[in-house]
Structure 1
Amino acid sequence: MPQFAHRVAKAQRSFIREILKVTADPSVISFAGGLPNPASFPVPEIAAAAAKVLYEAGPSALQYSTTEGYAPLREWIARRYQEKKGMDVRPEDILITTGSQQALDLVGKILVNAGDTVVMEKPGYLGAIQAFTIFRPSWRSVPLEDDGPDLELLDRALKRAKLFYAVTSFQNPSGLSYSEEKRARVAELLKRHRTFFLEDDPYGELRFKGQALPPVCKQRPELSMLLGTFSKVAAPGFRLGWIVARGSIMERLVIAKQAADLHTGSLDQMIVHRFLADNDFEAHVARISRLYGEQCRAMQDAIARHFPKNVRVTEPEGGMFLWATLPEGLSATELLRRAVERKVAFVPGAAFFVDGTGENTLRLNYSNADAATIEDGIKRLATCLEECMAEAGKAARAGA
């Protein structure tokens, strides 16, 4: 019988996507998916933008286009990097992709051979783990501290590594961000080791407290790539992302994209550009950030009221996620089984580790639920936690 390619032999379905099948039941309170709040979607503005694009440029919007992407949209992205982050980014440094997930796949295709060392954060973004696993890398993972990676361990991990992938602001899954000091130190380590760097920034606009910090790529542009997306600040249904890269890296990314899908949909790019050109984008992002800040505080307050005190939870300054660490010996997978029975869902943390650890951790999404729903869901989870702790205590006494 013919065999499938080796690259997919160990590939697994997305754990989060499988959990989302459970949450299709409207009675389930879901803290599982990283879903933007539909209340933030600019539906009337998008409708107006779509109508204008089709009226003014219908035939060209429906035609094939260039691989690199719609030029006015790339110009808008480059200008925003220049004005907001002080980065030397030109339109020709931008490649529009079909979501950030395609960007991860393209980077894997041009950089990762079987056996190459890829360094991930611990915990790390599941979508990146899944994308790079196809290329059969050798994994190294570096634990995250409250302000970024453990620098001593990162220094060791980067030795002869091909690629370091990181989410430096409001990380998925932990919600943590790199401090200004750690960003500078990470840039230094990358320069010393000459490692390719892929910095993912899907949540950077969604800051609701603290001071905005520039990407690490600003301090170390050589051998670096920076990802962005409109999924969190416009609508995920467009599947519009981008890569910032230069020179030979960009050349190979373009070739890989031509082989993958020729180009990202012209109509979607033109609609999003028209939305950006015709509306106050800063005010739109500020509204989303305020909303998520309120929802984050609602979840933090509910956890403080209802969770056992020995459960540790991160304190993000933006983004969409909280990360909880249970006492040693407790299983988030078992907690999920009980939680689903009570119609509440989350993502067990083990899925975000490449070394088989993290069984006592979990990710909670606060962006897609209102305060009352968050309160109800956290109370249900707290009940499940108390049951798990009681059973663990009983088992410990029986084994003593």
Structure 2
Amino acid sequence: MENYISDRLKNVPKSFIREILKVAADEKIISFAGGLPNPKFFPVKEIQNACNKVLEEDGANALQYSTTEGYLPLREYIARRYKEKEGIDVSPEEIIITSGSQQGLDLIGKTFINDGENVLMEKPGYLGAIQAFSVYGPNFCDVTLEDDGVAIEELEEVMKNNKIKLFYTVPNFQNPSGITYSSEKREATAAAIKKQDILMVEDNPYGDLRFIGETVPSMKKYYDNTIILGSFSKIIAPSFRLGWIYAKKELIDKLVVAKQASDLHTNYFSQRIIYQYLLDNDMDKHIEKIIKAYGHQREAMIGSIEKYFPEEVKFTRPEGGMFLWVTLPENIKALDLFYKAIEENVAFVPGFPFYAKEKIENTFRLNYSNVDAQTIDIGIKRLADTIKKMM
């Protein structure tokens, strides 16, 4: 059967996280592996009310085909929110609704990446972007993430030696590391990539989930040639698979063509339900509840790590989002630790799939958003005991 498979797909890695989630599905296992929002905060009743209202008031239209760009009132809402929250003037014509941020990544790859072109990734970088872009045959370059953003001297060295087409970044509470770019590092990054007029892709699914520190402006404020990805998955519900791309109109026009070739349009009924929910509810109050809970769970995880982990193990201290990043002593492989931890009924994601080029093997990602504080403490102690045995 291998003869039937296209060359482009043969080089695309499986989603390692999806494979791990199969292993971690056992109810006995405490899982820090998935990037799952906490279902306690899904607005089930409010969504039900929105669904009923859409069907009762405009059901026939809501069940019909729609435009590729997406439901105009929803795009207008997103545009207004950019103005209110980011101070960025956005036209609804500069927004296309996608089937989650992941489709946004695929459309960007399809529209802008040619086989063999250089795509710059953070090190570590988001696994879903590595997978989505791999379909289009790029040559990946990478640049190390420091505590406040990419290493600027290294970035300039990479650009000196390579003509970069596109730079993909998650500057707010990055997946997998949890780090956030400082305003100084954003400005320096923008100044560096301007030299080659690189297309920047700012993926921002976690931006609303800040529970420590001050909000930092979007990369768009520092570099105009920036595409932004957004999502309702982390702040309302992931199953709707609703996200968006914000870009200059001439780029949106090309992305529309790519989307028409993929699925004609994103689930229109879901768009109508989400918009009705947004009309009838205060989303910021809803987000405040999520922030409070995730902040508490983040504190619980850091407190347990400080209590149980050996001091040789290093970790990040995110200001928001859903993840933190752990670095083991160099002689311990995270994958080996994973298999031993599973025997102790605790799971995490080893770090090597998050590297586009060199696979660093002594790092791993922990998720705190979907586990309560008491369970976090139990799971982190099990993990710490396993690390100590390996050391």
Corresponding position: 1:179 with 2:179: no
Residue type of the partner of 1:9?
K
- Rounded Cα–Cα distance in structure 2 between residues aligned with 1:349 and 1:143: 14
Deviation string 1:38-78 (CA, Å, 9 cap, x unpaired) is 01111111111111111111011100000000011000000
Deviation string 1:222-264 (CA, Å, 9 cap, x unpaired) is 3x21000000000000000000011321111000000000000
- Rounded Cα–Cα distance in structure 2 between residues aligned with 1:160 and 1:186: 16
* Preserved contact between residue 95 and residue 242 of structure 1 (Cα < 8 Å): yes
* Preserved contact between residue 113 and residue 135 of structure 1 (Cα < 8 Å): yes
* Preserved contact between residue 93 and residue 249 of structure 2 (Cα < 8 Å): no
> Unaligned stretches of 5+ in structure 1?
390-400
SS at match of 2:177: coil
Residue type of the partner of 2:130?
I
User: What TM-score, normalized by structure 2, do the two folds share?
Assistant: 0.98
Indicate the residue corresponding to 2:209 in structure 1: 206
1:123-138 residue pairs with structure 2 within 5 A? 123-138=124-139
Residue among 308, 316, 319 paired with 1:317: 319
Indicate the residue corresponding to 2:221 in structure 1: 218
- Rounded Cα–Cα distance in structure 2 between residues aligned with 1:3 and 1:50: 43
User: How many correspondences in the alignment?
Assistant: 388
Cα drift, residue 4 of structure 1: 2.1
1:251-290 residue pairs with structure 2 within 5 A? 251-290=253-292
Indicate the residue corresponding to 1:55 in structure 2: 56
Cα drift, residue 218 of structure 1: 2.4
Indicate the residue corresponding to 1:384 in structure 2: 386
1:105-254 residue pairs with structure 2 within 5 A? 105-158=106-159, 159-222=162-225, 224-254=226-256
* Preserved contact between residue 187 and residue 217 of structure 1 (Cα < 8 Å): no
- Rounded Cα–Cα distance in structure 1 between residues aligned with 2:235 and 2:386: 34
Indicate the residue corresponding to 1:367 in structure 2: 369
- Rounded Cα–Cα distance in structure 2 between residues aligned with 1:25 and 1:196: 42
Cα drift, residue 88 of structure 1: 1.3
- Rounded Cα–Cα distance in structure 2 between residues aligned with 1:155 and 1:286: 39
Residue type of the partner of 1:301?
G
Deviation string 1:331-366 (CA, Å, 9 cap, x unpaired) is 100000001111110000111012233200000000
Cα drift, residue 156 of structure 1: 2.6
Cα drift, residue 316 of structure 1: 0.4
Cα drift, residue 184 of structure 1: 1.0
The runs of at least 4 consecutive aligned structure 1 residues that moved more than 6 Å come to: none
- Rounded Cα–Cα distance in structure 1 between residues aligned with 2:30 and 2:119: 35
- Rounded Cα–Cα distance in structure 1 between residues aligned with 2:188 and 2:306: 34
Instruction: State which drifts further: 201-210 or 22-31.
Output: 22-31
Instruction: State which drifts further: 341-350 or 2-11.
Output: 2-11
* Preserved contact between residue 321 and residue 366 of structure 1 (Cα < 8 Å): yes
Cα drift, residue 138 of structure 1: 0.6
Cα drift, residue 182 of structure 1: 0.8
> Unaligned stretches of 5+ in structure 2?
none
* Preserved contact between residue 33 and residue 348 of structure 2 (Cα < 8 Å): yes
- Rounded Cα–Cα distance in structure 2 between residues aligned with 1:329 and 1:139: 27
- Rounded Cα–Cα distance in structure 1 between residues aligned with 2:249 and 2:42: 36
* Preserved contact between residue 183 and residue 216 of structure 2 (Cα < 8 Å): yes
* Preserved contact between residue 125 and residue 173 of structure 1 (Cα < 8 Å): yes
Residue type of the partner of 2:357?
D
Deviation string 1:54-106 (CA, Å, 9 cap, x unpaired) is 11110111000000000110000000001111001111111000000000000
Instruction: State which drifts further: 154-163 or 193-202.
Output: 154-163
* Preserved contact between residue 97 and residue 245 of structure 2 (Cα < 8 Å): yes
Residue type of the partner of 1:321?
F
SS at match of 1:250: helix
CA RMSD of aligned residues (A): 1.0
